[in-house]
Amino acid sequence: MPCDGIAVLTATLEQAQQADLIEQALGAAVKARLLDRSGTLLLQVALPLPPGGTMPVKIAVKRSGRITAITTSGTFEVGRDVLLAWLTQLRAGGIKTAGVRVETHRHDHHAPQLAYTAQQQR
């Protein structure tokens, strides 16, 4: 799968205590789990792709209820669709969120090419 930029979803749970419900809702999609010193729940998951297969995603849920989900492969467009489908699934399960944003970030391996292109344009 090509990797032209990752999708980053940020949102805030309306009820911070629902953070545990996110892990339950993901079920078998959770591949790794860690609770860091600050109480942030870190999950590595495999979310379903529309045509079949899965997309690796890293999800962080802070005690404050702040959620960050980041795709780790693929294109921004596919990642955005996968993350928004996951958010829809959460909402259907009764988990309410606010302040949802999805934006793109490029992977580090693109940085040298971007710097070279910017230098050429001067």
Determine phi and psi for 66, rounding to 5 degrees: -75, 130
The string of pLDDT tens digits covering residues 48-93 is 998 889 999 999 999 899 999 999 888 889 999 999 999 999 999 8
Q: Measured between alpha carbons, how far is 61 from 69 in angstroms, rounded to an integer? A: 9
pLDDT bin (cut points 50, 70, 90) of residue 8 is: very high
Match 């693109």 to its residue by tokens: 110
pLDDT value at residue 120: 38
Among residues of the chain, what percentage have pLDDT more than 90? 55
Identify whether the C-beta of residue 2 lies closer than 8 Å to the C-beta of residue 26. no
Residue located via tokens 């090419």: 113
Residue 104 has pLDDT above 80, yes or no: yes
Distance CA 122, CA 102 (A): 31
Could you give all domains of the chain from N- to C-terminal order, each with its CATH number? 6-120 (3.30.160.110)
